[in-house]
Amino acid sequence: MSEDADMKDKPEGAKAKEAEAKETEAKNGDDKMPPPANGDKSASSGSDAIKAAVKAGNINIHQQEHTEIMDLSEESKEAQQEHARLLKQVEAERRARTMVVPTKTEDVANKLRQLGQPVRLFSENVADIRERLRRFIAASEMEDEEAEKIEGMVAPKPSFVPRKMQMGGEPAAGAAGAAGAAGAPPAAKKVDVVYTPASDALLEARAAIATMSFGRAKSRLAGAKRRRGTPEEASAVDRRAVETFSTMKNLAINSSQFGDDRPLSAIQVSPDGGTVASGSWTCLVKLWDIENLEMRKVLRGHSERVTGIAWHPEAYSSDKTLLATGAADKTAKLWDCHTGECVQTFQGHAGRLARVGFHPSGRYLGTASFDHTWRLWDAETGEELLLQDGHHKEVYGISFQVDGALVATGDLGGVGRVWDLRSGKSVWTMEGHVKRITCMDFSPCAYEVASGSDDHTVRVWDIRKQRCCYTLPAHSALVADVRYSRTSGEVLVSASFDSTAKVWSTRDWSLLRTLSGHEGKASVTGCDVSPDERKIATCSFDRTVKVWAHQDEF
């Protein structure tokens, strides 16, 4: 009789006991290992050795259920907490320095109300209120980031998305549903990179710029090292800085002159410090004696208002007494200041020009335009060497580095870019301004560039660290111009539509002097510092040119 038949004849209780017995026997049979063969004695001895090592505690192949952890002392815990608190405080202060907040008192108060903070605390002034708002926003951002980090640690992992979809390709067969359920982003649009062959003239210019920039950088670094090489040299640098600051703190109007019948739009002091050039909305450019503002020459040729002025680096120090101007007539012009004649006209931009600037070599001219491009020209032949796009908005500010290797440009979208002239590449994008960038200027130190904006601030960017190292809440209106003192770089001057120009120390960014003197609420449109760093020239919508000097020089 078969086993199944026997099971049928047995009662239910007996069947259950017999099934349980068979299951136990099968399990015991699985656990039993067959005795090793004669040839496997070494394996058996090795197994015995492992068992002995485990028993002695030399080998641990079992996961411990309870791991012993030494608790930190209360002092160590407090030290860790204090260290974490200090790190958080330092990071909050760093963020607060670069935080953009409103400048108007009413806007600051409204922002504090929105954040649920008191508008004013006891003994606070306007600057203290803005600083409290800046610190609160920075701390809130850090708390939000910490919360997001914790949420990301405890959140479930996202569903698998095929690599091809991550790279922006088409989803694989059968993966579309899973990707859709995971909420995968749509495939990224493919961006076409367009390369334009460089002309022979541009290649020669790049080679010349590279050779020149290496030599100038070497000389600049050697000079900086020499000035800081000994305590005596360092003290001499500090003494000169103190003298410059003292002069700037005692500036007053030395001379003033009506420059034209319509507002003045640009101003710059010549490299020798003896002449001031101003441009106006009447299409005229005028040259003035810096000592008494007597007019020397009138340059006529533009058909629209003048928007930018730049002196040749060797003007009045050699035979090349040249001045470049840009205007809303879409052209830039090069003038001989001795004869007053236009010696070169640069045509090619599709929109009106904004600022212009000379390369430190004097051989090349840069122009920024409302056609979203900036261009590099051969100043001697008038040939267009480079048409550089890359900005999504109108390009307004342009400035060359003192070594000649880099150029900085800023657009009306609030974005600045640094370009390497030797390779033609955009090496850094400066993002931080919330409104239009209207002016830019490189520091003589060669690694800092200042930008002014319609958001009422001046930002100082460090090219080495590639970040904004300081934000100046400089004015209560649009910042129209910024200029470093070109000799030492110890001073930065900003001009604004709030009718003032301000002088800042570049060592600690403290305010040295506010220059108030232009009529009524007239916007100050331009400023510049003389090479000897003892005079400042400004121009304004009130149609005047003013020269500011130390009161003892009157």
pLDDT in tens, 200-225: 999 999 999 999 999 999 999 999 88
pLDDT average, residue stretch 391-402:
96
Give the type of residue at 505: S
Q: Is the pLDDT of residue 490 over 70?
A: yes
Query: Would you tell me the crossing angle of helices 126-154 and 105-114 to the nearest 10 degrees?
Result: 30
Give strand pairing partners of 374.
368, 388
Residue in the structure block whose two tokens are 């606070």: 124
Residue 382, in any domain of the structure? yes
* 8 A C-beta contact, residue 405 and residue 423: no
Res 152: pLDDT? 66
pLDDT confidence bin for 229, thresholds 50/70/90: confident
The CA distances from residue 290 to 13, 192, 275, 530, in Å, are 120, 52, 5, 9
Res 266: pLDDT? 98
3-state secondary structure of 459: strand
Cα 293 from chain centre:
38
Residue 39, in any domain of the structure? no
pLDDT in tens, 308-367: 999 999 998 877 789 999 999 999 999 999 999 999 999 999 999 999 999 999 999 999
Alpha-carbon span 359 to 376, nearest angstrom: 9
In total, how many domains does the chain have?
2
* 8 A C-beta contact, residue 259 and residue 539: yes
pLDDT confidence bin for 141, thresholds 50/70/90: confident
275 and 142 belong to one structural domain:
no
120 and 263 belong to one structural domain:
no
Res 131: pLDDT? 86
Give the CATH number, domain containing residue 517: 2.130.10.10
235 and 378 belong to one structural domain:
yes
Domain C-terminal end among 117, 147, 177: 147
Residue 541, in any domain of the structure? yes
Q: Is the pLDDT of residue 190 over 70?
A: no
273 and 135 belong to one structural domain:
no
| Best-predicted range by mean pLDDT (175-184, 187-196, 371-380) | 371-380
Alpha-carbon span 222 to 538, nearest angstrom: 34
Supply the range of the domain harboring residue 233.
204-553
Alpha-carbon span 170 to 3, nearest angstrom: 61
Residue 157, in any domain of the structure? no
Residue in the structure block whose two tokens are 């006891």: 122
469, burial (CB in 10 Å: exposed 0-12, middle 13-18, buried 19+): middle
**3-state helix vs strand vs coil in the chain, percent to 5:** 30, 30, 40
Res 167: pLDDT? 37
Which pair of structure tokens corresponds to residue 28?
């015991």
pLDDT confidence bin for 187, thresholds 50/70/90: low
392, burial (CB in 10 Å: exposed 0-12, middle 13-18, buried 19+): exposed
**pLDDT higher at 237 or 52:** 237
Res 84: pLDDT? 83
CB proximity list for 364: less than 8 A, separation 6 or greater:
205, 209, 358, 376, 377, 378, 379, 385
Alpha-carbon span 300 to 342, nearest angstrom: 8
Q: Is the pLDDT of residue 510 over 90?
A: yes
Closest CA to 267 of 452, 530, 445: 530
Residue 69, in any domain of the structure? no
Domain C-terminal end among 147, 169, 194: 147
Res 485: pLDDT? 97
pLDDT confidence bin for 162, thresholds 50/70/90: very low
Q: Is the pLDDT of residue 387 over 90?
A: yes
445 and 352 belong to one structural domain:
yes
333 and 259 belong to one structural domain:
yes
Give the type of residue at 540: S
Domain C-terminal end among 129, 147, 165: 147
431 and 285 belong to one structural domain:
yes
pLDDT in tens, 119-137: 888 778 888 888 888 888 8
Res 512: pLDDT? 97
Res 70: pLDDT? 63
Res 104: pLDDT? 82
Residue 117, in any domain of the structure? yes
Residue 284, in any domain of the structure? yes
Cα 218 from chain centre:
25
358 and 452 belong to one structural domain:
yes
pLDDT average, residue stretch 421-437:
95
Strand arrangement, sheet containing 364-369: 353-358, 364-369, 374-378, 384-388
Q: Is the pLDDT of residue 297 over 50?
A: yes
pLDDT average, residue stretch 230-236:
89
Res 46: pLDDT? 62
| Best-predicted range by mean pLDDT (76-85, 86-95, 395-404) | 395-404
* 8 A C-beta contact, residue 357 and residue 398: yes
pLDDT confidence bin for 307, thresholds 50/70/90: very high
120 and 211 belong to one structural domain:
no
Q: Count the neighbouring beta carbons within 10 Å of the beta carbon of residue 513.
A: 20
DSSP conformation letters of 280-348? ETTS-EEEEETTT--EEEEE---SS-EEEEEE-TTTTTSS--EEEEEETTSEEEEEETTTTEEEEEEE-
Core vs surface per residue 277-291: b (16+ CB within 10 A) or e = bbbbbbbbbbbbebe
Share of the chain above pLDDT 70, in %: 80
Residue 195, in any domain of the structure? no
* 8 A C-beta contact, residue 358 and residue 315: no
pLDDT average, residue stretch 485-496:
96
* 8 A C-beta contact, residue 441 and residue 484: yes
The CA distances from residue 240 to 25, 61, 216, 230, 484, in Å, are 100, 74, 23, 16, 16
Q: Is the pLDDT of residue 11 over 60?
A: no
Q: Is the pLDDT of residue 478 over 70?
A: yes
The mean predicted confidence, pLDDT, of the chain is 84
Which pair of structure tokens corresponds to residue 500?
């003032």
* 8 A C-beta contact, residue 100 and residue 434: yes
Alpha-carbon span 355 to 217, nearest angstrom: 25
Res 228: pLDDT? 81
Q: Report phi then psi at 57, rounded to 5.
A: 90, 5
Give strand pairing partners of 334.
324, 344
Alpha-carbon span 206 to 210, nearest angstrom: 6
Alpha-carbon span 450 to 504, nearest angstrom: 12
